[in-house]
Every structure is written in structure tokens, then in C-alpha cells.
Amino acid sequence: MRTLTLLTSAAALALLAACGDDSAASDDDDCDCRAGEVDDTTVDCNPTFGTSDACGGELSGSWQYRRACTDFDAEAALRDACPGARVTRTQPGVSGSLSFVSALWQHSGGWSHTVDATLPALCAAAVGGCDSIPTILRDNGASEASCSGAGECACSVTWTGRHTAAGLVSTDDGIATLPSGERFHYCVDGDTLTYREIRPDGEIGVTFTLTR
């Protein structure tokens, strides 16, 4: 079970567009959130974006999500739980917009993340074999999951989600703060906005890149 839990966590780290006060947010877990999503590799995305990168700047206007990235090593985490396991493909996708008018912001976006991974026969057998893995993954939040193989299992898993929210924001010295207490490093460089939530050391973080 530990192997499958880690596989779930490694993929679901992905592209959480959770930048709003829960009281103002709504999530639609049944939508087809992959429509119109992009992973624009022509746009830079710094997986370790942090204090030294947070240049601040003027947020006003409408921004479109173009890319997301993280410094979390999903394959290393999976191998720690199951030696010999490997991630063969990861495919993120983001969509939607983030807009600012004075001290107000509004966000509407979708995300998806697909992970293809291979699990050795010993790890697969520990959870009931290849046929059991898709059900376990879907029970842990995956939108789609499939596995094949009689011993070693080749699995493909997709997570999707959608998030809309609005509220107030204050900015100071490259940090944007919401009334909920959530804080984000950010930098506006011309027509590009980069931001990343400030999380405690050791927690997984995701950097988002937007353009206008």
C-alpha cells in the first residue's frame, strides 16, 4: 500500500491552482479539465522559484496560465518505496486565467497531470497484482488509471481538477498575501508573471508561469 500511496502523491503534487480563500472557492471534480490545457515549453518555468527570484511588480491586468513545474523528484520518491520502480513519462497541463483589479483578484483554472510508471512484480504483488492497482488509484483521487502486465506492471494515471476563486490581495516586497494567510512569492517581468506559494520546508511546492 505504501508504494501506491507514494505513486498517488507523486502525481497529484502537480498543478494545484489552489490560490484562493476556501470560502470563495468552488471545485468541479467531474469536469473534463484537460480541454484547452497547455504545457508551453517556450515559456520559462523555474522549479525552485523563491525569495531571491521574487522581484514583485505590478499585478494589474489579466494573465493566462502557460506552464507549471516543481522540483519534487517523483521517481526518487517512488523508488524509495519500491526499488526498481521507474517513472517513464510525466505530462502536466494548465489552463485558465488570473486577473487583478486594484486589491481584488479572480482566478479560474483547470489542471491535469498524467504519470506513466512501471512497478516491479514484487511491489505489484504486495497490493494484489496489476488488476488491483487502477481501483486503488481511483479510490485515492485519480480521474483515470490503467495498468497492464502479468508480473511487472505498466501503469498510466491521470489526475484532473478545476478551481475558481476570488478575493482580496495585498502585496509587499515580492510577496502577495491573501486574507486566509496564504502567501506567494511573485515576480512580474514584462508580460510574464511567475508565482509560487510559500510553504514550510520539506513540503512540495509548484511554480506557475503566466503571460498576458
| Statement: residue 160 has pLDDT above 90 | no
The per-residue pLDDT for 202 is: 65
Which of 143-152, 159-168, 178-187, 198-207 shows the lowest mean pLDDT across its residues? Answer: 198-207
C-beta separation of 99 from 60 below 8 A: no
Q: Which helix (H) or strand (E) holds 133?
A: helix 133-139
The per-residue pLDDT for 99 is: 96
The pTM assigned to this predicted structure is 0.74
* pLDDT confidence tier of residue 78, bands split at 50, 70 and 90: confident
Phi–psi pair at 6, nearest 5 degrees: -65, -40
121-132 per-position pLDDT tens digit: 998 898 889 999
How far apart, in whole angstroms, are the C-alpha atoms of residue 133 and residue 126? Answer: 10
* pLDDT confidence tier of residue 159, bands split at 50, 70 and 90: confident
The per-residue pLDDT for 15 is: 31
The sign of the torsion formed by the CA atoms of 70, 72, 73, 79 equals negative
